[in-house]
Structure 1
Amino acid sequence: MIVIEQQPKRVEVTVYAEFTLADYKEFENAVNFAIQFEGPVDLWFDLREMADFTLDVAWEDIVFARAHANDFSRIAVLTHSQWVAWSAWLSQIFVHAEMRVFDEEVEARAWLAEEEGLA
């Protein structure tokens, strides 16, 4: 299950339990909408409550990242899992955005706010 919040120039996603292909499609729709009307956006991924993801999500992430290589400014990934952190870094191969992995929400939000001139 995911919860998506649209912010100005940012899409925020929180994943709970298993991240499914249906969830990923919902994420894609939100991002495509934001990009269409705002240009490149920041992404916020809170994966601290994610228990697992399906194999088709991993594949869809690669396909989506390649198709949107220049559509993101910054990507903040919030996780306590070293495996999720490594897979986030692997995704960075396909995306030309600055990506950072954080343990603490305050640090991740501060980093995104720096770009906006709000920090």
Structure 2
Amino acid sequence: MITTDLMPERVEMRAYGTMTLADCKAFEAASNYRVQFNGPIDLLFDLRSMTGYSLDVALEEWRYVRANPTSFRKVALLTDDQFVTWGAWLSQFFTEADIRIFETERAARHWLDGDSQLEDDSILH
């Protein structure tokens, strides 16, 4: 299950339990809507409560990143999952977005809001 918060220039998603393909599609629809009307946006993914995802979710993520290389400016991921971290690192080759992984929501929000003082709190630059 996911929750999605839409803001004018940012979409925030929180995952709980196992992420499904339907969850991915719902996130994509929300993000595409914002990009259509606002141009490139920022993303905040809170995956700390996610317990897993299926192969179809992973494949859909790769397809979506490759199909939208210029849709996102900054992507902040909150996770301690090593596979998600590796996936984020690989995603950087297919998008112009600046992708960073954070341990705290506070640091992620500061970075997304342009506060460079906490920028070094990211794990992946």
Partner in structure 2 of residue 17 of structure 1: 17
Q: CA RMSD in A?
A: 1.0
Q: After superposing the two structures, state which structure 1 stretch, 20-29 or 78-87, moved more.
A: 78-87
Deviation string, structure 1 residues 23-82 (Cα, Å, up to 9, x no partner): 000001001100011000000000000100110011111111111001100000001222
- TM-score when normalising by structure 2: 0.89
Local SS of the residue matching 2:17: strand
Question: Any stretches of 5+ residues in structure 2 without a counterpart?
Answer: 116-125
CA distance, structure 1, for counterparts of residue 9 and residue 37 of structure 2: 9
Runs of 4+ in 1 over 3 A off after TM superposition: none
Local SS of the residue matching 1:110: helix
Local SS of the residue matching 2:113: helix
- Which amino acid in the other structure matches residue 36 of structure 1? Q
- Which amino acid in the other structure matches residue 53 of structure 1? Y
- Equivalenced residue count is 115
CA distance, structure 2, for counterparts of residue 14 and residue 83 of structure 1: 17
Identity of aligned residues (%): 48
1:83 equivalent to 2:83? Answer yes
Per-residue deviation at 1:21? Answer: 0.2
Per-residue deviation at 1:83? Answer: 2.2
CA distance, structure 2, for counterparts of residue 20 and residue 70 of structure 1: 25
- Which amino acid in the other structure matches residue 104 of structure 1? T
Partner in structure 2 of residue 64 of structure 1: 64
CA distance, structure 1, for counterparts of residue 62 and residue 25 of structure 2: 13
CA distance, structure 2, for counterparts of residue 98 and residue 3 of structure 1: 23
- TM-score when normalising by structure 1: 0.93
